[in-house]
Amino acid sequence: MKNWITLAIICAGAWALHAQKPQEAAVIGFYNLENLFDTLDAPDVRDEEFTPAGGRGWNTAVYTEKQAHMARVIADIGTDFSPAGAVLLGVAEVENRKVLEDLVAQPAIAERHYQIIHFDSPDERGIDVALLYQPRYFQPLYSKVYHLYLKRSDGSTDYTRDLLVVGGLLLGDTVHVLVNHWPSRSGGEQASRHKRIKAAQQVKQVVDSLCAAQPTARILIMGDLNDDPTSPSVRDVLHPVTRKRQATGCTLYNPMFDLYRRGFGTLAWRDTWNLFDQIIMTGNLVHPPDDGFRFHSAHIFKKRYLVQQSGRYKGYPFRTFAGGAYLGGYSDHFPVFVVLVR
């Protein structure tokens, strides 16, 4: 079983593992799938544009191509580090369980037998988060969701995505995964900031609760946070340290900070890069109290085929739509992943 995780030495300017014997490696990732809707008009959610009669012309042919594209990306994430690819993959912007069932059945990833953990959220557009896992390497022990109810200025409820929390055994090591898609910056970053701060406070409460029950808890926070590593929601509420040597116990550590500091991002807007897609972890995964999995490296998955090669948006993520026009791309976000070794 463990042949999948014998880690090769990566040369030519990348990194190398200096060890006396082969180590086990597990790839854990997150990907915003950019509007993975079915073609049906669901009641009570705003999904009309993603139907054959909608403005985007979202029909069976487009849906089929979108599914194949998402599967291609998922098949490739992290395979430079482990041929098994992502054993755990958080996803965002999925309409329902059916689109996920269609996704994991795609030929590019079908042999991995991804299983799905998904709950319908009250989000007004009908989009959710979910966790995909390969049962050969991960066995879930529990899963639950936390609703985030926000208020508009007129007092009405602003429904958004849930926080998904999953705990399980990663080849025998207990890990807890929090999958997020925080409120957008619609209306402006500053005007909407309080929403993401509230989402961050919810995450911090869950982390604190898990750590109170188990001070050695290995926790991974992943998602499209709609904020950068230096934004108040992340910096001041989650308050992660940015250096590995500072990461101990249940102190949070953000390995994405260094990528952001060096100018890397997962999405672009008006020629500015943001790193909204992040994976943050407790220090127990950086300096583990035992021989279990530990953090090795963090990455933005940016293969050439995911990058717009020409035109006004050259260098941006090659997305599905731009200005309402179908481009036939992948997503407006690059995936991110971390490598754990043992």
Q: How many CA atoms lie within 13 A of 228 on its CB side?
A: 19
- The rounded radius of gyration (Å) of the Cα atoms in the chain is 19
pLDDT of residue 21: 53
Mean pLDDT computed over every residue of the chain: 92
22-60 tens-digit pLDDT: 589 999 999 999 999 999 998 888 899 999 999 888 999
Six token digits for residue 146: 């936390």
Q: How many Å apart are CA 210 and CA 141, to the nearest integer?
A: 14
pLDDT of residue 260: 98
For the whole model, what pTM was predicted?
A: 0.93
152-171 tens-digit pLDDT: 888 889 999 999 999 999 99
244 pLDDT more than 50: yes
CATH 3.30.930.10 fits 24-341, yes or no: no
Q: How many CA atoms lie within 13 A of 21 on its CB side?
A: 2
Six token digits for residue 254: 């953000």
4 pLDDT more than 50: no
125 pLDDT more than 70: yes
Q: In this structure, are residues 280 and 220 in contact, taking their beta carbons and an 8 Å threshold?
A: yes
Residue 337: partners with Cβ closer than 8 Å, 6 or more residues away: 27, 28, 29, 30, 77, 78, 86, 279, 298, 299, 301
pLDDT of residue 9: 35
204-231 tens-digit pLDDT: 999 999 999 999 999 999 999 999 999 9
Confidence band of 324 (pLDDT split at 50, 70, 90): confident
Name which of 111-115, 184-188, 257-261, 335-339 the model is least confident about: 184-188
Q: How many Å apart are CA 80 and CA 83, to the nearest integer?
A: 7
Share of the chain above pLDDT 70, in %: 94
249-307 tens-digit pLDDT: 999 999 999 999 999 999 998 889 999 999 999 999 999 999 999 999 999 999 999 99
